[in-house]
Amino acid sequence: MANSLYIDGEWRTATGTSFVTLDPATGHALREVGGASQADVDAAVSAARTAFRSTGWRDMLPVDRARLLFDFAAVIEAHADELAELETTDQGQLLSISRAVSVNGAAEHFRYYAGWVTKIQGSVNPISFPDTLHYTRREPIGVNALVTPWNFPLMILAWKLAPALATGNTVVIKPSEVTPLSSIRLVELAAEVGFPRGVINLVNGAGDVGAMLSEHPDVDHLSYTGSTQVGRIITRASADSNLKRLTLELGGKAPSIIAADADIDAAVAGNVMGATLNSGQVCAAYTRFYVDKRRENEFVDKLAGGLRTLTIGSGLEESTQIGPLVSAKHLGHVERLVRTGVEQGAQMVTGGTRVDRDGYFFEPTLFAGVTDDMSIMQEEIFGPVLAVTAYDGVDELEHLIDRANDTPYGLAATVWTRDIGTSQRVANGIKAGAVFVNMPPIPDMAAPWGGYKASGWGREMGPWAIDAYTELKSVWLHY
Protein backbone atom coordinates (compact mmCIF):
# COMPACT_ATOMS: atom_id res chain seq x y z
CA MET A 1 0.00 0.00 0.00
CA ALA A 2 2.39 2.63 -1.22
CA ASN A 3 -0.52 5.07 -1.59
CA SER A 4 -1.33 5.07 2.12
CA LEU A 5 -1.76 8.80 2.66
CA TYR A 6 -5.07 10.51 2.01
CA ILE A 7 -4.56 14.25 1.63
CA ASP A 8 -6.88 16.85 0.15
CA GLY A 9 -9.19 14.25 -1.36
CA GLU A 10 -6.45 12.18 -3.02
CA TRP A 11 -4.48 9.04 -2.21
CA ARG A 12 -0.77 9.78 -2.33
CA THR A 13 2.50 7.92 -2.10
CA ALA A 14 4.13 8.41 1.28
CA THR A 15 7.63 9.92 1.35
CA GLY A 16 8.62 8.77 4.85
CA THR A 17 9.65 5.41 6.28
CA SER A 18 7.42 2.48 5.34
CA PHE A 19 6.56 -0.33 7.75
CA VAL A 20 4.92 -3.76 7.68
CA THR A 21 1.80 -4.68 9.65
CA LEU A 22 1.59 -8.27 10.91
CA ASP A 23 -1.16 -10.78 11.67
CA PRO A 24 -0.77 -11.35 15.44
CA ALA A 25 -2.31 -14.83 15.18
CA THR A 26 0.51 -16.02 12.91
CA GLY A 27 3.25 -13.40 13.00
CA HIS A 28 3.08 -13.25 9.19
CA ALA A 29 3.23 -10.02 7.21
CA LEU A 30 -0.05 -8.58 5.97
CA ARG A 31 0.85 -5.40 4.07
CA GLU A 32 3.53 -2.80 3.71
CA VAL A 33 2.27 0.69 4.58
CA GLY A 34 3.94 3.94 3.62
CA GLY A 35 4.88 6.23 6.48
CA ALA A 36 4.52 9.99 6.35
CA SER A 37 7.38 12.49 6.31
CA GLN A 38 7.25 15.99 7.79
CA ALA A 39 6.35 17.29 4.34
CA ASP A 40 3.43 14.84 4.15
CA VAL A 41 2.16 15.90 7.59
CA ASP A 42 2.46 19.57 6.66
CA ALA A 43 0.47 18.92 3.48
CA ALA A 44 -2.27 17.11 5.39
CA VAL A 45 -2.56 19.86 8.00
CA SER A 46 -2.58 22.52 5.26
CA ALA A 47 -5.35 20.68 3.40
CA ALA A 48 -7.39 20.44 6.59
CA ARG A 49 -6.91 24.18 7.24
CA THR A 50 -7.98 25.10 3.71
CA ALA A 51 -11.05 22.87 3.96
CA PHE A 52 -11.97 24.35 7.34
CA ARG A 53 -11.98 27.83 5.84
CA SER A 54 -13.86 26.81 2.69
CA THR A 55 -17.48 27.79 2.35
CA GLY A 56 -18.36 24.30 1.13
CA TRP A 57 -17.75 22.84 4.60
CA ARG A 58 -17.97 25.88 6.87
CA ASP A 59 -21.36 27.00 5.55
CA MET A 60 -22.86 23.57 4.92
CA LEU A 61 -26.37 23.43 6.36
CA PRO A 62 -26.60 21.29 9.50
CA VAL A 63 -29.17 19.03 7.85
CA ASP A 64 -26.75 18.34 4.97
CA ARG A 65 -23.86 17.61 7.33
CA ALA A 66 -26.10 15.26 9.29
CA ARG A 67 -27.04 13.48 6.07
CA LEU A 68 -23.35 12.82 5.34
CA LEU A 69 -22.89 11.20 8.75
CA PHE A 70 -26.03 9.10 8.35
CA ASP A 71 -24.76 7.98 4.94
CA PHE A 72 -21.37 7.14 6.45
CA ALA A 73 -23.03 4.92 9.08
CA ALA A 74 -24.93 3.11 6.34
CA VAL A 75 -21.78 2.54 4.27
CA ILE A 76 -19.97 1.11 7.32
CA GLU A 77 -22.83 -1.32 7.89
CA ALA A 78 -22.84 -2.31 4.21
CA HIS A 79 -19.14 -3.26 4.54
CA ALA A 80 -19.46 -4.79 8.01
CA ASP A 81 -18.14 -8.26 7.20
CA GLU A 82 -15.15 -6.89 5.32
CA LEU A 83 -14.27 -4.41 8.08
CA ALA A 84 -14.67 -7.01 10.82
CA GLU A 85 -12.38 -9.51 9.12
CA LEU A 86 -9.82 -6.79 8.45
CA GLU A 87 -9.92 -5.71 12.11
CA THR A 88 -9.50 -9.27 13.36
CA THR A 89 -6.69 -10.07 10.96
CA ASP A 90 -4.73 -6.91 11.77
CA GLN A 91 -5.45 -6.60 15.50
CA GLY A 92 -6.30 -10.13 16.63
CA GLN A 93 -9.62 -9.50 18.38
CA LEU A 94 -12.31 -12.15 18.09
CA LEU A 95 -14.39 -11.87 14.94
CA SER A 96 -17.53 -11.79 17.09
CA ILE A 97 -16.11 -8.72 18.88
CA SER A 98 -15.05 -7.11 15.61
CA ARG A 99 -18.56 -7.48 14.24
CA ALA A 100 -20.69 -6.70 17.28
CA VAL A 101 -18.49 -4.16 19.07
CA SER A 102 -15.99 -2.58 16.68
CA VAL A 103 -17.92 -2.32 13.41
CA ASN A 104 -21.39 -1.97 14.88
CA GLY A 105 -20.07 0.51 17.44
CA ALA A 106 -18.42 2.59 14.73
CA ALA A 107 -21.63 2.77 12.66
CA GLU A 108 -23.72 3.62 15.70
CA HIS A 109 -21.37 6.46 16.69
CA PHE A 110 -21.76 8.11 13.31
CA ARG A 111 -25.53 7.67 13.50
CA TYR A 112 -25.62 9.07 17.05
CA TYR A 113 -23.62 12.18 16.18
CA ALA A 114 -25.54 12.67 12.97
CA GLY A 115 -28.50 13.25 15.26
CA TRP A 116 -26.53 15.86 17.19
CA VAL A 117 -25.67 18.02 14.16
CA THR A 118 -29.01 19.85 14.11
CA LYS A 119 -29.06 20.30 17.89
CA ILE A 120 -25.78 22.10 18.57
CA GLN A 121 -26.85 25.43 19.97
CA GLY A 122 -25.90 28.28 22.25
CA SER A 123 -27.95 30.10 24.85
CA VAL A 124 -29.29 33.58 25.63
CA ASN A 125 -28.30 34.59 29.14
CA PRO A 126 -29.72 37.20 31.53
CA ILE A 127 -26.90 39.59 32.52
CA SER A 128 -26.55 42.61 34.78
CA PHE A 129 -26.02 45.27 32.10
CA PRO A 130 -28.99 47.29 30.78
CA ASP A 131 -29.82 47.36 27.07
CA THR A 132 -27.45 44.48 26.36
CA LEU A 133 -28.11 41.14 24.73
CA HIS A 134 -25.75 38.31 25.65
CA TYR A 135 -25.68 34.98 23.87
CA THR A 136 -23.28 32.10 23.27
CA ARG A 137 -22.28 30.19 20.15
CA ARG A 138 -20.78 26.75 19.75
CA GLU A 139 -18.14 26.89 17.00
CA PRO A 140 -15.80 24.19 15.64
CA ILE A 141 -12.24 24.34 16.93
CA GLY A 142 -10.55 23.99 13.54
CA VAL A 143 -7.93 21.42 12.51
CA ASN A 144 -8.04 18.32 14.70
CA ALA A 145 -5.39 15.59 14.88
CA LEU A 146 -6.92 12.22 15.80
CA VAL A 147 -4.24 9.83 17.09
CA THR A 148 -5.65 6.39 17.76
CA PRO A 149 -4.41 3.21 19.52
CA TRP A 150 -3.93 -0.37 18.39
CA ASN A 151 -6.41 -2.17 20.66
CA PHE A 152 -9.73 -1.06 19.08
CA PRO A 153 -8.52 0.94 16.08
CA LEU A 154 -11.78 1.16 14.15
CA MET A 155 -14.15 1.87 17.02
CA ILE A 156 -11.95 4.41 18.80
CA LEU A 157 -11.38 6.25 15.54
CA ALA A 158 -15.18 6.49 15.22
CA TRP A 159 -15.37 7.86 18.80
CA LYS A 160 -13.24 10.76 17.66
CA LEU A 161 -14.12 11.22 14.00
CA ALA A 162 -17.91 11.27 14.37
CA PRO A 163 -18.14 14.21 16.83
CA ALA A 164 -15.30 16.06 15.08
CA LEU A 165 -17.23 16.01 11.79
CA ALA A 166 -20.60 16.62 13.43
CA THR A 167 -19.31 19.90 14.89
CA GLY A 168 -17.85 21.12 11.59
CA ASN A 169 -14.17 20.46 12.17
CA THR A 170 -11.59 19.06 9.76
CA VAL A 171 -9.25 16.23 10.71
CA VAL A 172 -5.89 14.58 10.21
CA ILE A 173 -6.04 10.94 11.29
CA LYS A 174 -2.94 9.08 12.52
CA PRO A 175 -3.68 5.43 13.36
CA SER A 176 -1.29 3.19 15.25
CA GLU A 177 1.39 1.76 13.01
CA VAL A 178 0.63 -1.63 14.60
CA THR A 179 -2.96 -1.78 13.33
CA PRO A 180 -3.57 0.75 10.52
CA LEU A 181 -5.58 -1.31 8.03
CA SER A 182 -9.16 -0.74 9.22
CA SER A 183 -8.52 3.00 9.53
CA ILE A 184 -7.25 3.14 5.95
CA ARG A 185 -10.34 1.28 4.76
CA LEU A 186 -12.63 3.56 6.78
CA VAL A 187 -11.14 6.60 5.06
CA GLU A 188 -11.64 4.92 1.67
CA LEU A 189 -15.31 4.52 2.56
CA ALA A 190 -15.52 8.15 3.71
CA ALA A 191 -14.27 9.21 0.29
CA GLU A 192 -17.16 7.31 -1.28
CA VAL A 193 -19.68 9.12 0.94
CA GLY A 194 -18.71 12.50 -0.49
CA PHE A 195 -17.14 14.64 2.23
CA PRO A 196 -15.58 17.79 0.72
CA ARG A 197 -11.88 17.72 -0.19
CA GLY A 198 -9.56 18.17 2.74
CA VAL A 199 -12.15 17.58 5.46
CA ILE A 200 -10.74 14.10 6.20
CA ASN A 201 -7.01 13.43 5.84
CA LEU A 202 -4.95 10.40 6.81
CA VAL A 203 -1.25 10.01 7.54
CA ASN A 204 0.42 6.78 8.62
CA GLY A 205 3.58 6.12 10.55
CA ALA A 206 5.13 5.48 13.93
CA GLY A 207 5.55 7.72 16.93
CA ASP A 208 7.57 10.27 15.00
CA VAL A 209 4.48 11.09 12.91
CA GLY A 210 2.41 11.49 16.05
CA ALA A 211 5.10 13.83 17.38
CA MET A 212 4.91 15.92 14.20
CA LEU A 213 1.20 16.43 14.82
CA SER A 214 1.71 17.12 18.53
CA GLU A 215 4.26 19.81 17.72
CA HIS A 216 2.48 21.26 14.70
CA PRO A 217 1.60 24.93 15.20
CA ASP A 218 -1.42 24.74 12.87
CA VAL A 219 -3.18 21.87 14.68
CA ASP A 220 -5.82 23.37 16.96
CA HIS A 221 -6.86 20.26 18.90
CA LEU A 222 -5.32 16.83 19.34
CA SER A 223 -7.32 13.86 20.59
CA TYR A 224 -5.16 10.92 21.67
CA THR A 225 -5.94 7.49 23.10
CA GLY A 226 -2.97 5.46 24.28
CA SER A 227 -0.36 5.20 27.01
CA THR A 228 0.13 7.69 29.82
CA GLN A 229 3.81 7.92 28.92
CA VAL A 230 3.02 9.16 25.42
CA GLY A 231 0.27 11.40 26.80
CA ARG A 232 2.90 13.24 28.83
CA ILE A 233 5.06 13.67 25.72
CA ILE A 234 2.10 15.08 23.80
CA THR A 235 1.33 17.50 26.62
CA ARG A 236 4.87 18.84 26.64
CA ALA A 237 4.88 19.16 22.84
CA SER A 238 1.62 21.07 22.91
CA ALA A 239 2.94 23.45 25.55
CA ASP A 240 6.06 24.12 23.50
CA SER A 241 4.19 24.73 20.23
CA ASN A 242 0.83 26.50 20.34
CA LEU A 243 -0.91 25.25 23.52
CA LYS A 244 -3.33 23.29 21.34
CA ARG A 245 -6.42 21.86 23.00
CA LEU A 246 -5.88 18.26 24.18
CA THR A 247 -8.23 15.37 24.83
CA LEU A 248 -6.29 12.48 26.37
CA GLU A 249 -7.66 9.02 27.17
CA LEU A 250 -4.71 7.22 28.72
CA GLY A 251 -3.85 4.15 30.80
CA GLY A 252 -5.89 2.31 33.39
CA LYS A 253 -5.60 -0.18 36.22
CA ALA A 254 -9.23 -0.87 37.08
CA PRO A 255 -10.01 -2.34 40.52
CA SER A 256 -12.81 -4.86 41.00
CA ILE A 257 -14.23 -5.03 44.53
CA ILE A 258 -16.10 -8.20 45.50
CA ALA A 259 -18.17 -7.75 48.65
CA ALA A 260 -19.12 -10.57 51.03
CA ASP A 261 -22.73 -10.47 49.82
CA ALA A 262 -21.84 -10.64 46.12
CA ASP A 263 -23.32 -13.26 43.81
CA ILE A 264 -19.99 -15.02 43.33
CA ASP A 265 -20.98 -16.90 40.18
CA ALA A 266 -22.16 -13.68 38.53
CA ALA A 267 -19.05 -11.88 39.75
CA VAL A 268 -16.77 -14.58 38.32
CA ALA A 269 -18.51 -14.55 34.94
CA GLY A 270 -18.51 -10.75 34.76
CA ASN A 271 -14.92 -10.43 35.84
CA VAL A 272 -13.66 -13.09 33.43
CA MET A 273 -15.28 -11.09 30.63
CA GLY A 274 -14.13 -7.76 32.06
CA ALA A 275 -10.56 -8.99 32.42
CA THR A 276 -10.06 -11.00 29.23
CA LEU A 277 -12.04 -9.12 26.55
CA ASN A 278 -9.67 -8.58 23.63
CA SER A 279 -7.11 -10.65 25.57
CA GLY A 280 -7.07 -8.02 28.31
CA GLN A 281 -6.00 -5.31 25.86
CA VAL A 282 -8.64 -2.90 27.10
CA CYS A 283 -7.84 0.30 28.97
CA ALA A 284 -10.72 -0.34 31.40
CA ALA A 285 -10.00 -4.08 31.86
CA TYR A 286 -10.50 -5.38 35.39
CA THR A 287 -7.04 -6.30 36.64
CA ARG A 288 -6.96 -5.81 40.44
CA PHE A 289 -9.40 -7.84 42.53
CA TYR A 290 -10.19 -7.01 46.16
CA VAL A 291 -12.17 -9.89 47.67
CA ASP A 292 -13.72 -10.16 51.11
CA LYS A 293 -11.71 -12.77 53.04
CA ARG A 294 -14.86 -14.78 53.69
CA ARG A 295 -15.31 -15.34 49.94
CA GLU A 296 -11.65 -15.32 48.82
CA ASN A 297 -11.08 -19.06 48.36
CA GLU A 298 -14.38 -19.57 46.57
CA PHE A 299 -13.77 -16.62 44.26
CA VAL A 300 -10.18 -17.62 43.42
CA ASP A 301 -11.12 -21.24 42.74
CA LYS A 302 -14.04 -20.35 40.50
CA LEU A 303 -12.12 -17.57 38.73
CA ALA A 304 -9.23 -19.94 37.98
CA GLY A 305 -11.70 -22.53 36.73
CA GLY A 306 -13.33 -20.00 34.44
CA LEU A 307 -9.98 -18.94 32.99
CA ARG A 308 -8.89 -22.53 32.36
CA THR A 309 -11.97 -23.23 30.25
CA LEU A 310 -11.25 -20.43 27.76
CA THR A 311 -10.27 -21.61 24.28
CA ILE A 312 -7.16 -19.94 22.87
CA GLY A 313 -6.78 -19.42 19.14
CA SER A 314 -7.08 -17.17 16.13
CA GLY A 315 -9.83 -14.60 16.28
CA LEU A 316 -11.11 -15.91 12.94
CA GLU A 317 -12.02 -19.27 14.52
CA GLU A 318 -15.56 -19.37 15.94
CA SER A 319 -14.54 -21.47 18.95
CA THR A 320 -11.88 -19.00 20.10
CA GLN A 321 -12.46 -17.13 23.38
CA ILE A 322 -8.95 -15.71 23.84
CA GLY A 323 -7.09 -14.36 20.84
CA PRO A 324 -3.46 -13.28 20.51
CA LEU A 325 -1.74 -10.26 21.95
CA VAL A 326 -1.15 -7.63 19.32
CA SER A 327 2.63 -7.97 18.76
CA ALA A 328 5.82 -9.70 19.80
CA LYS A 329 6.87 -6.54 21.62
CA HIS A 330 3.68 -6.44 23.66
CA LEU A 331 3.92 -10.16 24.39
CA GLY A 332 7.36 -9.50 25.87
CA HIS A 333 5.93 -6.70 28.03
CA VAL A 334 3.27 -9.02 29.48
CA GLU A 335 5.79 -11.81 30.08
CA ARG A 336 8.12 -9.41 31.91
CA LEU A 337 5.43 -8.28 34.33
CA VAL A 338 4.30 -11.87 34.99
CA ARG A 339 7.90 -12.84 35.85
CA THR A 340 8.10 -9.82 38.14
CA GLY A 341 4.94 -10.96 39.92
CA VAL A 342 6.51 -14.35 40.62
CA GLU A 343 9.79 -12.76 41.75
CA GLN A 344 7.93 -10.46 44.14
CA GLY A 345 6.19 -13.39 45.83
CA ALA A 346 2.73 -13.56 44.26
CA GLN A 347 1.17 -17.04 44.08
CA MET A 348 0.63 -18.28 40.53
CA VAL A 349 -2.75 -20.04 40.46
CA THR A 350 -3.07 -20.71 36.73
CA GLY A 351 -1.47 -19.72 33.43
CA GLY A 352 1.71 -17.71 33.36
CA THR A 353 3.35 -18.70 30.08
CA ARG A 354 3.15 -17.96 26.37
CA VAL A 355 1.36 -20.54 24.24
CA ASP A 356 3.58 -22.80 22.14
CA ARG A 357 2.28 -21.95 18.69
CA ASP A 358 2.80 -19.35 15.97
CA GLY A 359 1.62 -15.88 16.83
CA TYR A 360 1.63 -13.90 20.07
CA PHE A 361 -0.51 -15.91 22.48
CA PHE A 362 -0.36 -15.81 26.28
CA GLU A 363 -2.30 -17.98 28.72
CA PRO A 364 -4.95 -16.33 30.89
CA THR A 365 -3.08 -15.88 34.15
CA LEU A 366 -4.25 -15.58 37.76
CA PHE A 367 -2.21 -14.53 40.78
CA ALA A 368 -3.37 -14.78 44.40
CA GLY A 369 -1.75 -13.61 47.63
CA VAL A 370 -0.89 -10.30 46.00
CA THR A 371 0.05 -7.19 47.97
CA ASP A 372 -0.77 -3.63 46.98
CA ASP A 373 2.84 -2.64 46.35
CA MET A 374 3.59 -5.37 43.79
CA SER A 375 4.20 -4.33 40.20
CA ILE A 376 1.28 -6.43 38.94
CA MET A 377 -1.01 -4.31 41.16
CA GLN A 378 0.48 -0.97 40.13
CA GLU A 379 1.56 -1.17 36.47
CA GLU A 380 -0.74 -1.45 33.48
CA ILE A 381 -0.20 -4.92 32.01
CA PHE A 382 -2.72 -4.76 29.14
CA GLY A 383 -2.98 -8.51 28.91
CA PRO A 384 -5.02 -11.41 30.40
CA VAL A 385 -3.33 -11.19 33.81
CA LEU A 386 -5.45 -10.99 36.98
CA ALA A 387 -4.23 -10.30 40.52
CA VAL A 388 -6.31 -11.08 43.63
CA THR A 389 -5.84 -9.71 47.12
CA ALA A 390 -8.09 -10.01 50.14
CA TYR A 391 -9.57 -7.51 52.55
CA ASP A 392 -11.11 -7.94 55.97
CA GLY A 393 -14.82 -7.38 55.61
CA VAL A 394 -15.07 -5.87 59.07
CA ASP A 395 -12.67 -3.07 58.13
CA GLU A 396 -14.00 0.36 57.30
CA LEU A 397 -15.09 0.56 53.69
CA GLU A 398 -13.18 3.82 53.38
CA HIS A 399 -9.89 1.99 53.96
CA LEU A 400 -10.68 -0.43 51.13
CA ILE A 401 -11.54 2.49 48.84
CA ASP A 402 -8.22 4.10 49.72
CA ARG A 403 -6.43 0.90 48.72
CA ALA A 404 -8.32 0.73 45.43
CA ASN A 405 -7.43 4.36 44.73
CA ASP A 406 -3.73 3.80 45.42
CA THR A 407 -2.47 3.79 41.82
CA PRO A 408 -1.65 6.64 39.41
CA TYR A 409 -4.67 5.67 37.28
CA GLY A 410 -8.37 6.38 37.49
CA LEU A 411 -10.19 5.28 34.36
CA ALA A 412 -12.67 2.62 35.50
CA ALA A 413 -13.65 0.46 38.47
CA THR A 414 -16.34 -2.02 39.48
CA VAL A 415 -18.02 -3.30 42.62
CA TRP A 416 -19.96 -6.53 43.02
CA THR A 417 -22.55 -6.42 45.78
CA ARG A 418 -26.26 -6.89 46.48
CA ASP A 419 -26.29 -3.91 48.85
CA ILE A 420 -27.26 -0.59 47.30
CA GLY A 421 -25.53 1.33 50.11
CA THR A 422 -22.21 -0.45 49.51
CA SER A 423 -22.47 0.14 45.78
CA GLN A 424 -23.06 3.86 46.26
CA ARG A 425 -20.33 4.36 48.85
CA VAL A 426 -17.83 2.66 46.54
CA ALA A 427 -19.07 4.53 43.45
CA ASN A 428 -18.82 7.85 45.28
CA GLY A 429 -15.41 7.13 46.80
CA ILE A 430 -13.53 5.60 43.88
CA LYS A 431 -11.45 8.08 41.87
CA ALA A 432 -12.35 6.89 38.41
CA GLY A 433 -14.17 8.28 35.41
CA ALA A 434 -16.52 5.28 35.23
CA VAL A 435 -17.72 2.97 37.99
CA PHE A 436 -19.68 -0.14 37.03
CA VAL A 437 -21.86 -2.02 39.51
CA ASN A 438 -22.30 -5.75 38.93
CA MET A 439 -21.31 -5.57 35.25
CA PRO A 440 -18.32 -5.63 32.87
CA PRO A 441 -16.78 -2.34 31.62
CA ILE A 442 -18.89 -1.65 28.53
CA PRO A 443 -19.00 2.02 27.40
CA ASP A 444 -21.93 3.55 25.55
CA MET A 445 -22.00 6.39 23.05
CA ALA A 446 -24.43 8.41 25.20
CA ALA A 447 -22.29 8.26 28.37
CA PRO A 448 -19.06 10.16 29.10
CA TRP A 449 -15.78 8.26 28.83
CA GLY A 450 -12.48 9.40 30.31
CA GLY A 451 -10.40 9.25 33.43
CA TYR A 452 -9.12 10.84 36.59
CA LYS A 453 -5.44 11.38 37.44
CA ALA A 454 -2.96 9.85 34.97
CA SER A 455 -5.80 8.27 33.00
CA GLY A 456 -6.31 11.43 31.03
CA TRP A 457 -7.96 14.80 30.39
CA GLY A 458 -11.47 15.46 29.16
CA ARG A 459 -14.32 13.18 28.16
CA GLU A 460 -15.36 11.49 24.94
CA MET A 461 -18.82 10.40 23.76
CA GLY A 462 -22.24 11.81 24.46
CA PRO A 463 -22.73 15.58 24.59
CA TRP A 464 -19.34 15.83 26.29
CA ALA A 465 -17.64 15.12 22.95
CA ILE A 466 -19.54 18.07 21.49
CA ASP A 467 -17.84 20.19 24.16
CA ALA A 468 -14.46 18.64 23.33
CA TYR A 469 -14.66 19.57 19.63
CA THR A 470 -16.12 23.07 19.95
CA GLU A 471 -15.20 26.47 21.28
CA LEU A 472 -17.76 28.41 23.30
CA LYS A 473 -17.99 32.00 22.13
CA SER A 474 -19.61 34.75 24.19
CA VAL A 475 -21.28 37.56 22.20
CA TRP A 476 -22.33 40.90 23.80
CA LEU A 477 -24.64 43.26 21.93
CA HIS A 478 -25.43 46.70 23.35
CA TYR A 479 -28.44 48.42 21.84
The answer to whether 268 touches 299, Cβ cutoff 8 Å, is: yes
Residue 283 a catalytic site member:
yes
Which listed residue (283, 296, 379, 380) is catalytic? 283
Tell me the C-alpha distance between 417 and 425, whole Å. Answer: 11
Spatial neighbors of 351 by CB under 8 A, at least 6 apart, are 307, 362, 363, 364, 365, 366, 384, 385
Which listed residue (108, 249, 379, 460) is catalytic? 249
Residue 249 a catalytic site member:
yes
Active site residues: 249, 283
